[in-house]
Structure 1
Amino acid sequence: MKMMKENRFAKEETMVIGIDHGYGNIKTANTCFRTGVTRYDKEPRFQNNLLVYDEVYYQIGEEHKEFLAEKMLDEDYYILTLAAIARELYLAGIYSAKVHLAAGFPLTWVSEQKEAFRSYLLKNKTADFTFRGKQFHVEFAGADIFPRGFAAVADRLRMFKGINMLADIGNGTMNIMYINDCRPVEKKCYTEKYGTNQCILAVRESMLKQLGTVVDDLVIEQVIRTGKADIGEKYLRVVQESAEKYTAEIFRKLREHEYNPELMRLYVVGGGGCMIENFGKYDADRVTVINDICATAKGYEMLAARKLRKNGGM
């Protein structure tokens, strides 16, 4: 979260909050939680992550939300946005604030959907809600929508000398772009519906086919993140083998977009980076994995703040 003034004469500060609206996890500059919303008409028993808005109860982060190419089709991402704002404000000890949102979309979808998503985020001028028992009041000052992936490396473009490929591997999609001599190449941006969720589905199928059983997604995710889990060896081996096949397929898809490790460097961001590290076969001198899961949200904040300063304020 970055604090800015609308202009040099203003007394009140506006909070610039970057939110990475992932299909698997919602990330801010300082927090990360599962992309899940469960609605209740009555107050539920467990309230660790309870958000109350417009007299409706929402349990945040219990389950992953299904993949939706258009995030504006229901209210879930709006509710998740409120939860993300509350988490950032709570860390700063602030409960009433004017907020400028910074968010993003997959590279090839930005131009088509950014205005609709901005309108979706700003459909209410204010929002009053309770999260984790704390009352919040938010006044929305505006919103900017940026390309995801690029935002994660926007603060380190000087690293990208020569020819480089950037792969942002999320839960629902993999976004690919070229950054040549520190400049993004707009004509060489691609989006593949091949995120880590496809790996989880493949593990489920293999587990059922080979061992006739079902394993909880939390276990699969743990193996993806760390390469191991507290489960039997035969179950672990099935997960690892499926993850290795999935990771090999990632590199195949990159080659479809002319990836050649001898001619360019590869940079990987997003939650799928841990899969590359744990299960990929690659030259570590030519591939860089950026492990900061919040890098994209931080990049959104930086780009929004830079844009606002260039425009002379909010």
Structure 2
Amino acid sequence: MKDLYVDGKLVIGIDHGYGNMKTRNSVFKSGVKSYSDEPAVATSVLQLDGMYYVIGESHKVFIANKDEDNDYYILTLAAIAKELEIRGLRSSDLILAVGLPIHWMSKQKSSFKDYLMRRPEVNYRYCGKYYHIRICDVAIYPQGYAAIAASLEDYKGVHMLADIGNGTMNTLVITNGRPLSDKKFTDKIGVHECVKHIMNEVQAECGKIPDESIIEDFLINGTAEVSDRIQNVMRREAVKYTEMIFDKLSEYEYDPELVKLHIIGGGGCLIRNFGDYDTSSVEIIEDICATAKGYEELYNSQYLARKGA
């Protein structure tokens, strides 16, 4: 998809994950640390209003309301800068296409839009370069759903979408291409729950405390540069986590003989590496940026519909 402009404004899709921020072209950890003085060694630094923010050195702690603190606003500015840098831009009028967990949309949509638009015009510096932006509008969509919206007409029969992120799993049932409003669920059983269990069990059984990055690499790749003893513990806990995911989906009437399952988000790699499932009835969407891309495509579709195209 080429750059999307609407009435001269660049549309940028941003997926505000608890583990990672995603845009069409970038992925970075959702961590923010603030400093009153410029950090001496950090490379990914955003400067705004005399404060310095180090971006992406860790994941964000789960919060139910994403506008509860300043972090996602700062992360949004970083995501915008990354997209502008790719295009060779330092200034732009923007429309942001973003999302919220499916079950929280109705309660948080208005406040999250106000949160992102609180300063329509912003001047800031990121990675040593200055940016001037105007946020002209924010469109908010159901998280996860955006990744498959363009393909819904092909979804015959009963389908289930499971968006497994770092903080939550969002589940949606779709029948003959139509999402069912009374069958959408948000559960706080994201990948970080698996990471915590692995860390605790390795400490209990092996007397070691593995760095979180080692566990993440193991979950993504199915192996890590640690002893077989530690890998066996990590593998056992990862398998337990995938079993818990399928148990939860079963509560929502997932039956592999009747329902086609589509898994997106960072948790897809866990299911792929450690899950017990029928590959003919489960699709794992590997593109971690699929939801951010889907936000842009949804906005474009709605814009064309309004114009009567």
Q: 1:304 is aligned with what amino acid?
A: Y
Q: 1:164 aligns to what?
A: 159
Q: 2:146 aligns to what?
A: 151
Q: 2:87 aligns to what?
A: 92
- How far did residue 156 of structure 1 move? 1.5
User: Does 2:110 match 1:115?
Assistant: yes
Q: 1:229 is aligned with what amino acid?
A: A
Q: Which runs of no fewer than 5 residues in structure 1 stay unpaired?
A: 7-12
Q: 1:3 aligns to what?
A: 4
Q: 1:64 aligns to what?
A: 59
- How far did residue 92 of structure 1 move? 0.6
Q: 292, 309, 313: which is aligned to 2:304?
A: 309
Moved more, 237-246 or 300-309: 300-309
Q: 1:101 is aligned with what amino acid?
A: L
- Listed one character per residue, the Cα deviations across residues 150-169 of structure 1 (whole Å, up to 9, x for unaligned) are 11111221331111111000
SS at match of 1:299: helix
User: Does 2:277 match 1:282?
Assistant: yes
Question: Identity of counterpart residues, as a percentage?
Answer: 44
Distance 1:185 1:54, change over 3 A: same
Q: 2:100 aligns to what?
A: 105
Q: CA RMSD in A?
A: 1.2
SS at match of 2:269: helix
Distance 1:265 1:5, change over 3 A: closer
Instruction: Return the alpha-carbon distance in structure 1 between the equivalents of residues 195 and 240 of structure 2.
Output: 12
- How far did residue 233 of structure 1 move? 0.9
- Listed one character per residue, the Cα deviations across residues 16-45 of structure 1 (whole Å, up to 9, x for unaligned) are 000000000000011000000011111111
Q: TM-score, normalised by structure 2?
A: 0.97
User: Any residues of structure 2 matched to 1:32-47 within 5 Å, and which?
Assistant: 32-47=27-42
Q: 1:2 is aligned with what amino acid?
A: D
Moved more, 157-166 or 80-89: 157-166
SS at match of 1:156: helix
Counterpart contact for 1:106–1:148, Cα < 8 Å: yes
User: Does 2:199 match 1:204?
Assistant: yes
Instruction: Return the alpha-carbon distance in structure 1 between the equivalents of residues 102 and 231 of structure 2.
Output: 35
- How far did residue 232 of structure 1 move? 1.0
User: Any residues of structure 2 matched to 1:246-285 within 5 Å, and which?
Assistant: 246-285=241-280
Q: 1:234 aligns to what?
A: 229
User: Any residues of structure 2 matched to 1:22-37 within 5 Å, and which?
Assistant: 22-37=17-32
Instruction: Return the alpha-carbon distance in structure 2 between the equivalents of residues 86 and 149 of structure 1.
Output: 24
User: Does 2:47 match 1:52?
Assistant: yes
Instruction: Return the alpha-carbon distance in structure 2 between the equivalents of residues 286 and 113 of structure 1.
Output: 34
- Listed one character per residue, the Cα deviations across residues 20-75 of structure 1 (whole Å, up to 9, x for unaligned) are 00000000011000000011111111242111111111110011111000111111
SS at match of 2:67: helix
Counterpart contact for 1:2–1:301, Cα < 8 Å: no
SS at match of 1:44: coil
Q: 1:9 aligns to what?
A: none
Instruction: Return the alpha-carbon distance in structure 2 between the equivalents of residues 70 and 109 of structure 1.
Output: 9
| Runs of 4+ in structure 1 over 3 Å off | none
- How far did residue 5 of structure 1 move? 3.5
Counterpart contact for 1:47–1:132, Cα < 8 Å: no
SS at match of 1:71: coil
SS at match of 2:239: helix
Instruction: Return the alpha-carbon distance in structure 1 between the equivalents of residues 306 and 155 of structure 2.
Output: 27
- How far did residue 309 of structure 1 move? 3.0
User: Does 2:176 match 1:181?
Assistant: yes
Q: Which runs of no fewer than 5 residues in structure 2 stay unpaired?
A: none
Q: 1:199 is aligned with what amino acid?
A: C
- Listed one character per residue, the Cα deviations across residues 265-304 of structure 1 (whole Å, up to 9, x for unaligned) are 1110111000000000011011000000000000111111
Moved more, 277-286 or 179-188: 179-188
Q: 1:18 aligns to what?
A: 13
- How far did residue 109 of structure 1 move? 0.4
Q: 182, 186, 194: which is aligned to 1:191?
A: 186
Instruction: Return the alpha-carbon distance in structure 2 between the equivalents of residues 197 and 305 of structure 1.
Output: 33
Counterpart contact for 1:2–1:305, Cα < 8 Å: no
